[in-house]
Structure 1
Amino acid sequence: MSGGLDSTTLAYELLEQNKSILPVFLDYGQHFKEKELNSLLKVIPQKIKPYLRVVNIKDIYKNSSSRMIIEPNLWMENVNSDDLYLPYRNLLFLTIASSIAQSEDITKVYAAFINSNHAKEIDCSKEFFDKLGVLLNDYGSVEICLPYRDLSKAEVIQRGIRLNVPMAITYSCQANSEVPCGVCPNCVDRENAISFISTVNVDN
């Protein structure tokens, strides 16, 4: 869980399905870590909040020049999606979660990756997730579950509305640690989805 819209909605949905959840937050040195974690503590379902586990892996990216690690000055610098790239970030997330799961006899790892047109990471494609899921299942005991992989951000928001998820206080920006920048891939997906749903509601 990151304190973002997608993972928060997934947590609420899994609880609705009466699943037991061990929420994991990864500190990988992201400059917006405090904002993410504080947001997560506000939006996480109270039932699982006491079990939240924070895992420190920030030494992995301590020498990275990614603007997810070194916060840009958005008044002075232009930042594009390539500047936010971190090598194998999603692979790390899923393998660490799978390692925790197998160590504690948990059979499934859930992640809320969506079908995003803005994602540039090589480990964010449907093909990658499919192959990784097969690998981890064949050489271990953990199943990777990505229920939102084929959904758009707008479809996730619609689920969140039904589940009464506190979406307004989730935080998804990757370029600013205080307020959403509005132009990073996460912000663009979020804004486009909200605009789309607003348009649909007006038309109906």
Structure 2
Amino acid sequence: MNGQTSERAVVLASGGLDSTVTAAIARRDGYALYLLTIAYQQRHAVEIERSRQVATALEADQHLVINVDLGTIGGSALTGHLSVPKLRTESERNRDVPVTYVPGRNLIFLSLAAAYAEVLGASIIYFGANVIDYSGYPDCRPEFIQAVEGALQTGTKAGMQGKGIEIRAPLLRMSKAEIIRLGLTLNVPFQLTHSCYDPVGAMACGQCDSCQIRKQGFAEAGVVDPIQYAVC
């Protein structure tokens, strides 16, 4: 348990690389960690178990897992029967909103995080969004984050009382290599993290957009990626 301060922060924790580095940043900043993981019927549900391992490794004060069935809505390769794109170039990845975009996901995630924060009396949500590696996702942009902050100011008890809830996205404009280098200084357990959209069992496929971005990031950082891939 983090004993540096009684001030609490909610961290959206997927079990992935970015959210784990984000949680480590919140810990470095002196906050008691209250991790929130959303099981949304994603095909890469292995990340839920990884989020539990990360929570233990980072000595989170609390780790809450909430089930939200976005699979019933569908519309994404991560929750439905659409194929996950493989072996795409960077220009192909950045051309359009990818089929791995989950409609409404980050809006729902931040709404749940805000509800959790209100109950805890927390005024900070840490969110691992990134616009450089994931520029195709509309709900990872600074405009989106600012709009949600405005809605929380208007539509929450905390906002009405003048307290507000701040959304911090410390990785927003960092490259994957920069994120990895920062994580190393914070002793992030990268071996526990899962980034793959289409795992083979519990093993990363090595070919989806997320795997390619992760592998490139470790290569550019000059560090060996501690996880195994089905296809290197």
> TM over 0.5: same fold?
yes
Cα distance in 1 for residues equivalent to 2:83 and 2:175: 30
Is the aligned partner of 1:25 residue 2:54? no
Partner residue, 2:176: 153
User: Is residue 39 from structure 1 mapped to residue 50 from structure 2 by the alignment?
Assistant: yes
Q: CA deviation at 1:117?
A: 3.7
CA distance in 2, matches of 1:71, 1:172: 19
Cross-structure match for 2:4? none
TM-score by length of 2: 0.73
Q: Shift of residue 28 of structure 1?
A: 0.8
* d(CA) in 1 for partners of 2:34, 2:170: 17
SS in 1 for 2:122: coil
Cα RMSD after superposing both structures: 2.5
- Deviations 1:135-173 (Å, cap 9, x if unpaired)? 323442211111111211111101111112111331011
Which whole-Å CA distance do the structure 2 matches of 1:194 and 1:72 have between them?
Answer: 29
For 1:126, the equivalent position in structure 2 comes to 142
The amino acid of 2:194's aligned partner reads: Y
TM superposition outliers: structure 1 runs of 4+ over 3 Å: 70-74, 77-81
Distance 1:63 1:92, change over 3 A: closer
CA contact (8 A) 2:86 2:209 kept: no
Query: Unaligned stretches of 5+ in structure 2?
Result: 1-12, 224-232
Q: Which of 107, 112, 126 is the equivalent residue of 2:128?
A: 112
How many pairs are equivalent? Answer: 194
Q: Per-residue displacement from partner, 1:51-88 (whole Å, max 9, x unpaired)? A: 11011111x431415221136777xx869763322112
CA contact (8 A) 2:75 2:103 kept: no
Structure 1 unaligned regions, length at least 5: 200-204
Q: How far apart in 1 are the matches of 2:58 and 2:139?
A: 32
TM-score by length of 1: 0.83
Distance in 2, matches of 1:20 and 1:170, equals 21
Matched, 1:198 2:222: yes
CA distance in 1, matches of 2:28, 2:137: 31
Distance 1:188 1:133, change over 3 A: farther
Aligned to 2:78: 68
